[in-house]
Structure 1
């Protein structure tokens, strides 16, 4: 098929590359000329395992191209994907201004048989509004579908080519058939292709992310209770996770969730509910618990040092909001860095992929270290904020020799408390007894 993808952010770039890799001809559009030039050379601006190799291969075989010419990309396309940004507005709702602008621009140039598909995360009712806009602008009926993405950063390629389900919201069987053909190569193991109304598809995306965020906030709140009651959240997690109704996914306690999806989507769904006169009690609580959880590491560090951080040197391992990505949006590590700097501490950091993005935020206010052990040099404590594999089996003797004092604040529960104690470390974790 001839496909156009408008927007080369995380979702648009992954989608375009994967559709090209399955044999389609894909043109990705972006207004950023420098970004388009770099992508046309195979230079991918985000870290996502396997993505750069896929982009380079499909550029080479000419199934993938990048352009700033929106109209030229749209005119021949059988399927047009909208993957533009829908950032959080000041009121918590999604800002759709970029989406409306694109719809208005492309309307006169859409093929009569084209299917326009929203891939961006958009409020319920957006598909209906796009349909009405196109009808008014073109004086004809246009096919408008919703196809929400369920990609995990760090595993997006696998999630796209081996989806556990594909959700499409359509108004006609024809649109469903076209999208079914498009996804056929990815559904050879009989995973479901779920057809529903556009409103249900739009809602599915928000509900999925809100429920996963709820699990994280719930286990974090239970972890905080365990600390005060003398329990061990890891034991509790195992105790409930084997219940088939609950499972283990997203039940790992830590210092809160971040990223581009969960925070924004929980707040957007909450805003939608409020607009309809429904009080989103659980959604508000999920967001409030997560905001509070990002203070947990700060509280532990402050308590250990008696609130006297001025002149101290604190090492941080992990800056991205999760491993296998360079995404630092709403990352808990940034909340900690802000507090440490405001308190007069010196901060030395390491992350395998996210340091360049963090440099744009802090410049020379923070010391960036190429190796994780370099960040420990003469530090008064280490804080672990992201569970990269690089940090799971360190050289303990080297750690102890580099740190000014062997103190570790583990925000991701990478180590066992008893073993840390036997190695001579003062060890703090989340939801487990201090040793």
Structure 2
């Protein structure tokens, strides 16, 4: 997350301006304060009102339009920002900046700033490979500017090649990494256990009781923990996902299997993230042979499985315990009750009835609740991005406790 961080986005003219709108939205969702300067060419693609709605701040485009008479706008913005990002950056603005030209609001502000400036080019592949553009980029590199390389793919002009503006999600992650640069691997030396996916409770050799969990959120949490330096153990129920690299995966089937696997690694774990959708009930009797179809109805008697999360809450000593709860009504209310009942440090809740959330979806919408009573909502976003943001938010809150272990 980027609370209190001030990001100045300079938007120049190109079809990729539409991606800059998404970038502002994602930065704002992450907690950053975002202000936008546009060139006249950029306004040919998207109006300033769009960026104003996304950032909830005035948009600047005219050097001589002083919105606050107490300050000079381009100097004030140049001093205000913690980081300046030029996205999309055209060949034109790169050339101007490389040669010290300041003839509009964007270039005047860029020349006046002493803060870090990142440049994200977007242009036709032949323009990007032009010797003049290469020369200007090299000069800016020499001057200390950082570049976010464009990606390869189908370009708006019809060409296929390098020149596409990097995706907003990737740019946001790079910015988040920038502000975590004091300790890029905050979980280095820590052991993290993540449970993921459903469990299967056998009825007979061919049938079982289960749920719709895909495991995607749990796998995303495990990958995020690993990327932050943790020694990660992923305890996975039956899922159709590729095993992530760089961590240990333990495959289990039933709730009892998962319980035993978690307990085997619990004592020396630092953080436990319990995202698996464990069956609450299992058949009381498992038939050794396939049950044959009979005339009329049939009854399967069920018994409770062990509440793994509650048991861990009772056993924990130094561990940071994080639960997940999928609900269909009053997700926050039920989640808050589980924090106390199961002795959790955090719980991540979501309403699976939300069209952007729930089992099998690529995105999720959640609220992070803490035992201290704080509620932090996260809007719809890809699960991998969400996992990273959730962990970084928890790490920020628990940095002293994590570092003391």
Tell me if both proteins adopt one fold, taking TM over 0.5 as the criterion.
no
What TM-score, normalized by structure 2, do the two folds share? 0.28
Q: Which has the larger radius of gyration?
A: 2
What TM-score, normalized by structure 1, do the two folds share? 0.27
- Structure that is richer in strand per residue: 2
- Structure that is richer in helix per residue: 1
